[in-house]
Chains A and B, each alone.
Chain A
């Protein structure tokens, strides 16, 4: 694949607002899903959506299965209402040469992760590495070469707003959900004022229950 095809940025860059630059950092490479369907990473999976992105590989025995289980748990506990509608989850194989679509499907089945809104991807190693650097290395390329080290880290991308968040999936439920909520498309002022009121009630409740601000 030609390198220039990788990036979504087309046309004269000077007419785009800054925030679109972040979208343009996202490679638009071709991947195959667990159902062996070809997709374009940006156009088909990210564009206009709110997406959680994680890295994994099927034979991983350490953190990937734990991270997947954790997110499946959260899916059932709190996210099922939204998944596949306005929230999505993309798992990218770090070892695409090993992970055929079928292998990914088996992994997903084993962890009961064939859920609405969930996609598992395999593709070209070069594209995977590009994505990994784009999402997880910040400016520290070079010491992030160990592929195993990225499971458990989750990028939450809201392409509508151009905001990227980062969450540790092994943090508490509350914390992971907070991070997902932080990446939500901003609501109207009236709705946010209502949320603010709820937050105050929660603070007061915590104070009464524990004597201190236990969560949030």
Chain B
């Protein structure tokens, strides 16, 4: 879609040139390109078509034939033969020219969704532009399956991967071309969150900022490290994050909209991890050729059902995705990937909505083989660690960059990625390796010798990848309690359900806080993968409370942190009766952000809270007083101690 649009603009240019208007256009275009306003050029050089276009977006094109129902819920998906499809590599997104040109203030006249002005526009004017169009499309998850009706970006599942660089601010125009009368239990309103991004609030995909069919919205991604105010330039390089993903965040409908495919990957490079494997000063030289030796693995799970029009639709009960039985990697069920005898990086991502993954690598001898974790939730770990005798747990929305060295395997052999929970295969298949049922296999790696044209192996993985940013000294503490109680019984945070208009905590830009995340769910055994927008956190401690049958506390035990919890994270796995103490800072930008459970069913069930970052102590004091006044009206104790400007929790 995006290329098409750019192509049309190009044609317009050519036509104009032929019409003898070349001289003025060339000057305009060169001047504009030079000044970095490439998109502006389009607005100037395109002629008739633009005029129509800019007045308002056309009604969306006719979608593929809508899906038919396949009630009642099938016992299982149709059978699929393992290892027939190759692992698809999500296509990199191509920069394009946007028309009309993006603007600091919402371009309401041309159909941009209402928003605050881009707060980082003047500091980090965008220089690369993309377009991602949300629209229905058909996708085939397996050779043995018929096409499935999905909602995707630019017609592809998984969505295209954005490859960017720190210091090169980008802008993505998300256009909503979802059908008006939609036949699936998602919703045709979207707000796109760049998960983990150090993103100004108005581009952060706030859950209440969704926009409907026919509208569009520019998300401005400065692509800077946290710490711009403190360090100047593009921030503190020690704060680098790398494997992001973008996904719909529409309040109450995040689960079905993601189940239907509205997500994709977003990768940032810098000097340490430059996107190639050649020698470069400061480069870690990890496997880095996107699609060749550096491959995203997006994990998804679907229950498919056959329909009368010959499709295999993704089954959803009511509004929430329910039981699923097919494991999907990059949009294929049990795919295979040919790998050379060298190191590869896989960026594993759990796109949810609900399922947790527990993966491990199994050789053809049935033994577990090592995979090395180099990054957790987009952050390099200080010291890489191997997964050799346990599974790697991947909560919803978490990312792990793992490196697998295939030179340890003989050419002609196969290696398997194992998931602890079995899926439904339905085609009788012998165990691919001793003790490894086919139902547990996510995908297969076929090891072959490295051909001369294929990039040679990278140097050994360094023992020490990064220097951590200095430890955080908190100015305040605050507690977030995750429960399922109250009247009505709902998933709650601090006793409240999500309200996009209510702010439950306000922090000062530039300050740091210690946050306690407590899972105090009494009824039910819920584990909550907690996600905090905007800033990374460091886990300080994890404790587990044991209670007797009467609910009395028997003991509070310190739980040793796993290696993957030692670095910076944006997903904090919170099993029942656990308390996590984390520390984070709030830097550079202000506005509305979210903390929520990333089990998208819980999130849609209101386990989400808005918190704000403000600019000044005066505003902080005023806003915190507002919260306490509101709480007192509702009969709740004040949250901030009187007279304490920093607002330490009572």
User: Which A residues are closer than 8 A to B by beta carbons?
Assistant: 9, 13-22, 24-25, 62-63, 136, 138-140, 143-144, 146, 148-153, 161-166, 168, 171-172, 174-175, 178, 182, 186, 189, 192-193, 196-197, 199-200, 202-203, 207, 211-216
User: Known: A193-B111, A212-B614, A213-B116. Contact between A144 and B66, CB under 8 A?
Assistant: no
Neighbour of A24 across the interface among B71, B115, B623, CB < 8 A: B71
Whether A186 lies near B180 (C-beta < 8 A) is yes
Question: Would you call the interface of chain A mostly helix, strand, loop, or mixed?
Answer: mixed
Contact indicator B106/A151 (Cβ below 8 Å): no
CB distance from B184 to the nearest CB of A (A): 5
- Bound CA span A18–B70, Å: 8
23 contacts between A and B (CB under 8 A): A9-B71, A17-B66, A18-B184, A18-B316, A20-B69, A21-B185, A22-B318, A62-B487, A138-B601, A149-B489, A151-B487, A162-B185, A165-B252, A166-B252, A172-B499, A178-B501, A186-B212, A196-B211, A203-B114, A211-B619, A213-B591, A213-B592, A216-B500
Q: What is the CA–CA distance of A139 and B605 in the complex, to the nearest angstrom?
A: 11
Q: Cβ of A149 and Cβ of B488 under 8 Å apart?
A: yes
Looking at B188, B208, B487, which has the most chain A CB atoms within 10 Å of its CB? B487
Q: How many Å lie between the Cα of A166 and that of B318 in the bound state?
A: 13
Contact B70 A175 (CB under 8 A): no
Interface residues of B in 212-234 (CB under 8 A from A): 212-215
Contacts of B66 in A (CB 8 A): 17-18
Q: 8 Å CB contacts to A: which residues of B578-631?
A: 591-592, 601, 605-606, 612, 614, 619, 623
CA of A88 to CA of B502, assembled, Å = 27
Q: A13's closest neighbor in chain B, by CB?
A: B71
Q: State whether B114 touches A139 (Cβ < 8 A).
A: no
Give the residue of B184, B212, B213 whose beta carbon is less than 8 angstroms from that of A19: B184
Contact A18 B68 (CB under 8 A): yes
- Is A175 touching B185 in the complex (CB atoms < 8 A)? no
In the bound complex, what is the Cα–Cα distance between A139 and B212 (angstroms)? 28
B490 near A18 (CB under 8 angstroms)?
no
A139 contacts which of B116, B185, B189, B320 (Cβ < 8 Å)? B320
Smallest CB separation, B106 vs chain A (Å): 6
B62 contacts partner chain A, Cβ-Cβ < 8 Å: no
Question: Are B185 and A22 in touch, CB under 8 angstroms?
Answer: yes
A94 to B188, CA, bound (A): 34
Picked from A18, A25, A143, A162, the residue with its CB within 8 Å of the CB of B523 is A143
Q: Is the CB of A18 within 8 A of B185?
A: yes
Considering only CB atoms and an 8 Å cut-off, how many residues of chain B contact the other chain?
63
Complex contact B319–A216 (CB within 8 A):
no
B59 at the interface (CB under 8 A from A): yes
Q: How many Å lie between the Cα of A20 and that of B318 in the bound state?
A: 10
In the complex, residue of chain A having the shortest beta-carbon distance to the beta carbon of B306? A14
A192→B489 CA distance, assembly (Å): 35
Q: Which residues of B contact A148 (CB under 8 A)?
A: 487
Q: Are the C-beta atoms of A175 and B501 separated by less than 8 Å? A: yes
Assess A207 versus B68: contact at CB under 8 Å? Given A139-B320, A165-B252: no
Q: Among the listed B57, B69, B484, which residue makes an inter-chain contact with A21, where contact means beta carbons less than 8 Å apart? A: B69
Bound Cα distance A140, B526 (Å):
11
Whether the pair A212, B71 counts as a contact (CB closer than 8 A) is no
Question: Which of A16, A25, A174, A213 has most B Cβ within 10 Å?
Answer: A213
Q: Which residue of B lies closest to A160 (CB)?
A: B181
Give Cα A178–Cα B500 distance, bound, in whole angstroms.
Answer: 10
B490 to chain A, nearest CB (A): 7
B113 in the interface (beta carbon within 8 A): yes
Given the interface pairs A138-B601, A139-B320, A171-B502, the reply to whether A18 lies near B313 with Cβ below 8 Å is: yes
In Å, the complex CA distance between A19 and B68 comes to 9
B108 touches A197 (CB 8 A): yes
Q: Is there a chain A Cβ closer than 8 Å to B182's Cβ?
A: yes
Residue of A nearest to B501 (CB): A215
Q: Does B317 have its Cβ within 8 Å of any Cβ on chain A? A: yes
Q: Is B138 an interface residue (CB 8 A)?
A: no
Per a CB cutoff under 8 Å, which of A19, A151, A189, A197 touches B488?
A151
Asked if B56 CB lies within 8 Å of chain A CBs, one says yes
Which of B68, B180, B592 is A14 in contact with, Cβ under 8 Å? Answer: B68
Residues of B within 8 A of A19 (CB): 182-185
B426 at the binding interface (Cβ < 8 Å): no
- CB contacts (< 8 Å) of B57 on chain A: these are 189
Contact indicator per residue, chain B 176-218, by CB within 8 Å of chain A (1) or not (0): 0000111111011100000000000000000010011111000
Which residues of A are found within 8 Å of B488, using beta-carbon distances? 63, 136, 149-153, 168
List residues of chain B with CB within 8 A of the CB of A149: 487-489
Does chain A have a CB within 8 A of B296? no
- What are the residues of chain A within 8 A of B215 when measuring CB–CB? 192-193, 196
Report the Cα distance A17→B184, complex, angstroms: 8
A140 touches B524 (CB 8 A): yes
Q: Is the CB of B116 within 8 A of A14?
A: no
**A164-B69 CB under 8 A given contacts A14-B307, A203-B115, A207-B116:** no
- State in angstroms the CA–CA spacing of A211 and B590 once bound together: 12
- A138 contact set on B, CB distance < 8 A: 318, 320, 601, 605
CB contacts (< 8 Å) of A202 on chain B: these are 114
Give Cα A140–Cα B601 distance, bound, in whole angstroms.
11
Contact A175 B318, beta carbon cutoff 8 Å: no
Q: How far is the CA of A140 from the CA of B307 in the complex (A)?
A: 28
B469 an interface residue at 8 Å Cβ cutoff? Answer: no
B437 interface residue, CB < 8 Å from A?
no
- Which residues of the other chain, A, contact B114 by a CB distance below 8 angstroms? 196-197, 199-200, 202-203
Q: For the complex, is B497 an interface residue (Cβ under 8 Å from A)?
A: yes
Question: Does B562 sit within 8 A of A, measured CB to CB?
Answer: no
Contact B56–A189 (Cβ < 8 Å): yes
- Lowest 7 A-B CB distances belong to which pairs? A200-B114, A14-B308, A153-B488, A17-B183, A199-B114, A189-B214, A13-B71
Does the CB pair A14–B70 fall under 8 Å?
Answer: yes
CA distance A199 to B56 in the complex (A): 17
Known interface pairs A18-B313, A200-B114; 17 further A-B residue pairs with C-beta atoms within 8 A, sorted by A's residue number: A13-B71, A13-B72, A18-B183, A18-B185, A138-B320, A143-B524, A152-B487, A162-B185, A168-B499, A175-B501, A189-B213, A197-B114, A199-B114, A200-B108, A207-B116, A214-B501, A216-B208
Give B350 Cβ to nearest chain A Cβ, in Å: 19
- Chain B neighbourhood of A171, CB < 8 A: 497, 499, 501-502
B105 to chain A, nearest CB (A): 9
Q: Mask for B93-129, Cβ within 8 A of A = 1, else 0?
A: 0000000000000101001011110000000000000
- Tell me the residues in window 302-325 of chain B with beta carbons closer than 8 Å to chain A beta carbons: 307-308, 313, 316-320, 322
Q: Which of A16, A150, A153, A199 contacts B69 (CB 8 A)?
A: A16
B68 contact set on A, CB distance < 8 A: 14-18
